[in-house]
Each structure stands twice: as C-alpha cells, then as structure tokens.
Amino acid sequence: MDRRELLKALALVSGSALLSSCAAKRVQATLPLPGTPCLPRVNVSQDRIIRSICGLRPFRRSGFVVRPEKIADTLVVHNYGHGGAGITLSWGTAKLAVDLGAQGHSGAVAVLGCGVVGLSTARLLQESGFAVTIYAKDLPPQTTSNVAGGWWYPVTLADAKYSTPAFDEQFAQACRYAFMRYQIMVGPRYGVRWTRSYRLSQTAFHTTGDFSKQGVVGGLTPEFHDLAGTDTPFRGYEFARQFDTMLIEPPIYLPTMMEDFRIAGGKIVVRDFSSPAEITSLPEELIFNCTGLGAKALFNDAELTPVKGQLTFLLPQPEVEYSVVYGGGLYMFSRHDGIVLGGTHDEGNWSLEVDNQVRDQIVVKQKEFFESMRRC
C-alpha cells in the first residue's frame, strides 16, 4: 500500500471511529434510566382537541345498591349507584342482582335502563333463559355510560367512612365476576383490550379513598406492584404503581351489547317513568331497576347525587398504548376514537354543559405532565 492509500485508509478508520463515538453519545443521551420503560409521549395541544363531553356519575357515599324490594305484586331488584365504576362493575353487580331476583321466577322479565348496567343485567337474564324487555328513556349513545373513559378500575365508587362488611363482600364478588367476564370479551368486536397502567403519587399510597379495595383489585390485575419513582418515565412522582387492566371503549362496546341483546330475542321500549306505580303497571312481575341517577327521583333515594365528569378528546395516537392516573385524579386513556384526558369530580353539579375554562386547565396540566416525561 503506498503512502497516499495508507493516509486515506487511516482517515476512513478515524472518521468511522469519530462517527461511532458521536452516535454512542447521542444514544446514551436519550436512553431512559435502567429499568425504565420507554413510553411515547402524548402530544397535548389545543389544536389537537376534537371534542369535549360531560357526564354525571350516579354516586352514593355508601356505594352501589343491589337489593330486592317488593312493590305491590311486583318484585323490583335494584342495581344502581355505581359512581364512576359503572362499566367496571356492571357485569359483577348484574350477577349479584340476577342471583337475588331470578331464582324461582318464571315468565318474562323487565329491565329499566339501557346503559351498561342495564345491558349487562339483561344479557345475564337472557343467558338464564328469560325473555327480557328493556324499558329506557335514553338509548346509546345518549346514555351516561357513553360518557365514560372505560378503564377497568373502581374509582369514585364510595366513601370508605361509610363502608360496611356487607358492602365490602358485594364489592369483592362484583369485582371478581366482572374482571373474569370482560376477559372473555377481549378483542375488536367488543372494543376491549389490555392496557399497561400506571398510578402516580407524590405521597405513599394509602388504604383509604377511591382505591380502598386494593386488596381485591390488586389480587386480580396482573403485574400489580409498586415501582420506584425512578423506574418510570414520569417525572415528579416518588411513588408509582404499575398493573395491567382492561380498557373498554363505550362507542364500540355498547352498540355491540345492544346487538347481542336483540339477536337473543330481546325487546327495547323507549319509555320514561315518573313513579313506582307506573312501573308496577308493567306486565312483567320481575323488574330490575338499572336507572342510575334516575333512581334518585324515581325511588326517592336521597343519598344518590351526581358527580360531574368532563372529558376532552385529542386526536388518536395509536403508538400510545398505556394508561396513567396522576396528580390527584387526572388521567389519560388511549382509545381508538382519541386520547381521553379527564380528571374532574364535581359533586352535586347537575349541569351537562362543557366548562371551557376547566377544559383549558386540564389541557395545560396534561401538557406539562407529558412534556416532562423522560425521553426514550
């Protein structure tokens, strides 16, 4: 090799080494900490908002109601008051209600309400061999269930101070059955899928409040464990909890449930009721009350109160496949119809109007949160 060729070869080797060194430095600068999952950021901005909606959670401090009541010659089985856990517990409380009322009954059955609780109850009754008619003022997509994030986790359910052993047992039974039932519905037809989930806190996790039943839920959800704050890509939170749960997309799930109900021979009658007397005039002698917040006036439940929730949807980001709850109730769920941003719990507010100021505040907070994430 002559001198000129030798110099060219050395230059190539030197340049290659320099490029490799620079590349290594660039990669090292963007790598997350050891053990930290690489998660894509949510792109939060005002110009990516596609819609905002509001819904009213039917909240009772002592939790949902599943109990029978005899009114004249009619047996009414109540199944309402799920707060923000209607989708989560619908199959479970439906099972409790059907077990209470259907044993020994023969003949047609009525269900009041066509939200997720009513549809689940109606389907279980059909599976038990009953002819079922749903009576409802509103049908999907005009039900409260349509205005839900759809994350399988029992939040805004009850006040731990009012908890009783009887309710805790009902809750545990409902969780177990619902979690099992949704697993056999995973797939595109029902819009149910698994999602890696994170809950973040600046203080140690407690055993009270919305997540007071961690023993039950934690025992059900796979990968349920606490992480060090440095083991997540989220900044500013010392305490982090990871688990896998399911995400149920209402725009897909509810129409499919209605289709299943109709295929199985079910009938739907659009009708409103203003008194128990109107209900007992129905031809069915066994009726399941799944009217949600409507039970407050219809059955004089003074404890039932609305908790307004407001959701803002951003354009979909298919690469975002996780869910996160943080900052005292803010959350993000990634669905096919958009990125769901939520975090409002306005107790006693009956308004279904979108509050633009609240929307903007949530967007600002979510933008700050996701922009602070460690880059992959």
Tens of pLDDT, residues 150-185: 999 998 999 989 989 999 999 999 999 999 999 999
Structure token pair of residue 332: 């993000």
Q: What pLDDT does 10 receive?
A: 34
For the chain, the structural domain boundaries read: 46-371
Of 292, 344, 311, nearest to 116 by C-alpha is 292
Model confidence pTM above 0.85: yes
Residues 200, 239: contact at Cβ < 8 Å?
A: yes
Has residue 207 got a pLDDT over 80? Answer: no
* H or E stretch at 342: strand 338-342
> What is the average pLDDT value for the chain, to the nearest integer?
89
Of 351, 334, 339, 347, nearest to 312 by C-alpha is 339
Q: What pLDDT does 218 receive?
A: 84
In words, the CATH class of domain 46-371 is alpha beta
Has residue 366 got a pLDDT over 70? Answer: yes
Q: What pLDDT does 206 receive?
A: 65
How confident is residue 64, by pLDDT bands cut at 50, 70 and 90? very high
The rounded percent of the chain whose pLDDT value lies above 70 is: 88
Mean pLDDT of 206-221: 65
Mean pLDDT of 239-256: 96
Q: What pLDDT does 47 receive?
A: 97
Mean pLDDT of 129-157: 95
Q: What pLDDT does 341 receive?
A: 98
Q: What pLDDT does 15 receive?
A: 39
| Residue 207 CB burial class (10 angstroms; 0-12, 13-18, ≥19) | exposed
Q: What pLDDT does 213 receive?
A: 45
Q: What pLDDT does 317 receive?
A: 98
Bigger pLDDT: 337 vs 34: 337
Cis amide bond preceding 188, omega within 30: no
Q: What pLDDT does 217 receive?
A: 87
Has residue 26 got a pLDDT over 90? Answer: no
Mean pLDDT of 118-132: 98
Q: What pLDDT does 6 receive?
A: 36
- CA atoms of 186 and 194, how far apart (whole Å): 8
Has residue 233 got a pLDDT over 60? Answer: yes
Of 306, 316, 310, nearest to 356 by C-alpha is 310
Mean pLDDT of 187-192: 98
Q: What pLDDT does 179 receive?
A: 97
Query: Half-sphere exposure of 59 toward its Cβ, with a 13 Å CA cutoff?
Result: 24
C-alpha R_g of the chain: 25
